[in-house]
Amino acid sequence: MNGWVYDGFASTYQAMGVDFDKLYYESNTYINGKEEVEKGLQKGVFFQKDDGSIWIDLTADGLDEKAVLRKDGTAMYITQDIGTAILRFRDFPDLAYQIYTVGNEQEYHFKVLLKILKKLGFEQAEKCYHLSYGMVELPEGKMKSREGTVVDADDLMHEMAEVAKEVSSEQGKLEGLPEEEKSTLYRTIGMAALKYFLLRVDPKKNMMFNPKESIDFNGNTGPSVQYTYVRTVAVLRKAKESGFQMSDDLFTNVDVSTVSNAEFDIIRKIYEWPEVLVGAASGYNPADIAHYCYELAREFNSFYHDHQILRESDEKLRAFRIALTAKTGEIIRNGMNLLGIQMPERM
């Protein structure tokens, strides 16, 4: 049964584009956790009550007393987490810290865990961080496993692909494409809609997920950003077909007086990218990247609708606009890839 379950997990994670360097099983980590508790008991980090259970007193740290081992010697969740954290640091010596991506219902648990790790002498624990995220609700209300009002991940991903198929068919832009390529594209669009809709919200906030809304090709959605990227790819493809050769000095050859305000808006947005990237990483907030990709896409779309690119008569200005298109597409692709979102070449 365990093998069947793990195979199912692997299949779902693969569909999501998620992979792991190493898996830790509770059946192994609880043993390590018990050993660390026993060492901590000898050092005076923990204390033992009359019934044999082992605790830690964190009242001086603004927390409560916390049991770390039951009176019969069996491990608890906190015991396993202690063992797993320390084991990871040992298995990966270059690991500076760990980010625990767990819902906000477990905030107290991780305050206790990180405090215990610090008291046990693990310096890396000072940098460990609990990325506490809000809950995801459906239009019908909060998901509750006991009442059966939950969404199966596989069913949701399948539904997103079906919605992408429906919307793409209405657009009528995939005619002539082989069915196998269409199916792959529907999955790519569906997963982009799902991931982007979740990641565009600040992790700490609760949110409502609406499949229909997330698949919209207009507005602040994954497919909308994908569509802008595909637009840049199409421009570059046509430029290449016309014999255009890209070079590194295209930005410096153009007469600045011929550059429009819309183009300067894109340039300013491009120069913001390194700062946005650093801010998102230091703030543990992928929503910053999602918003940036959308804003850059919006600036490019505004420019695209009002300006000629390949048909521009000024040769240097045309070359500049092609280069600007290439840089825009590159940054959007890199940003969305950081969110785990694939970018198609056609939509």
Query: What confidence category does residue 254 fall into, taking pLDDT thresholds of 50, 70 and 90?
Result: confident
Instruction: Give the model confidence (pLDDT) of 180-194 as tens digits.
Output: 888 999 999 999 999
Distance between CA atoms of residues 282 and 85, nearest Å:
21
- Assign domain 174-338 one CATH number from 3.30.1540.10, 1.10.730.10, 2.102.10.10, 3.30.1360.30: 1.10.730.10
**Domain coordinates in residue numbering, the chain:** 2-133, 174-338
Query: What confidence category does residue 144 fall into, taking pLDDT thresholds of 50, 70 and 90?
Result: low
pTM for this model (two decimals): 0.87
| pLDDT for residue 329 | 97
Average pLDDT of the chain is 90
| pLDDT for residue 168 | 77
Beta strand extents in the chain (DSSP E only): 47-48, 54-57, 65-69, 99-103, 129-133, 136-138, 141-142, 207-208
- Give the rounded distance of the alpha carbon of 343 from its chain centre: 15
For residues 309 and 219, the model is more confident at 309
| pLDDT for residue 216 | 80
Instruction: Give the model confidence (pLDDT) of 211-221 as tens digits.
Output: 777 888 888 99
User: Which one, of 228, 209, 221, 215, lies nearest residue 300 by Cα?
Assistant: 228
Instruction: Give the model confidence (pLDDT) of 256-290 as tens digits.
Output: 888 999 999 999 999 999 999 999 999 999 999 99
Query: What confidence category does residue 244 fall into, taking pLDDT thresholds of 50, 70 and 90?
Result: confident
Determine the Cα angle at 161 with ends 158 and 166, to 5°: 125
Distance between CA atoms of residues 215 and 190, nearest Å:
7
**CB under 8 A, 24+ apart: contacts of 269-276:** 269/295, 269/296, 269/299, 270/296, 270/327, 270/328, 270/331, 273/331, 273/335
SS3 141: strand
Neighbour-count burial of 109, counting CB atoms closer than 10 A to its CB (0-12 exposed, 13-18 middle, 19+ buried): middle
Residue type present at position 117: L
| pLDDT for residue 334 | 98
> How long, in residues, is the chain?
347
| pLDDT for residue 252 | 64
Instruction: Give the model confidence (pLDDT) of 200-212 as tens digits.
Output: 999 888 888 877 7
| pLDDT for residue 116 | 96
Distance between CA atoms of residues 117 and 88, nearest Å:
13
- Assign domain 2-133 one CATH number from 3.40.50.720, 3.40.30.10, 3.20.20.105, 3.40.50.620: 3.40.50.620
Average pLDDT over residues 90-96: 91
